[in-house]
Amino acid sequence: MTITPVKPAEARRLIEAGAKLVDIREPDEHAREHIPGAANVPVGALDGLDTGDCAVVFHCRSGARTDANASRLAAAAEGPCYMLEGGIEAWRRAGLDVALDRRQPLELMRQVQLVAGGLALLGVVLGFLVNSGFFALSGFVGAGLMVAGATGWCGMARLLKLMPWNRRMAATLA
């Protein structure tokens, strides 16, 4: 089965006609912002997806994740299969409803990006202003990002998951 790209207006028409909308992002991303009525089924949990023979519209944030997993998504759907071009970002730009819960923390990967960038910048500034040994902080952060990219394991993400604001979010998702 193939997956057909659709623009937001067409996706909305399909959903109104009975298609199931499936958000393939991670639960922390979905909790912060989602299209109302979308079921959250991350790519890693597609085996549990039950669509029956109804049409399915898959989406992610920008469309890149959906496109990268198109064959896997098409295989998981039992009926006609579509992907929202441009993801939730295109949906929002088209003026369609998006539920945003600012009480939820930023997505974990955005938190990692902010902390890693801040620590790298801090290491450079302190290296120039205080002691050149602080450059090692930037090197350590860079090495951690390289390990995360090469292995898929991110120590900073694991540490950030333990922070109180992220534990609260996990409790609301359970």
Please say if 81 is a catalytic residue: no
Q: CB-based contacts of 16: which residues, under 8 Å, 6+ apart? A: none
What b/e sequence results for 124-141 when a residue is b if at least 16 CB atoms lie within 10 Å of its CB, and e otherwise? eebbeeeeeebeebbeeb
**Contact in structure between 59 and 21 (CB atoms under 8 Å):** yes
**Contact in structure between 15 and 57 (CB atoms under 8 Å):** yes
Which H/E stretch holds residue 171? helix 164-173
For 11, 54, 73, 107, 122, the CA distances from 79, given in Å and listed in that order, are: 15, 5, 11, 31, 52
Give me the catalytic one of 54, 60, 81, 154.
60
Query: Tokens at residue 66, please?
Result: 């959906």
> Would you name the residues annotated as active-site residues?
60
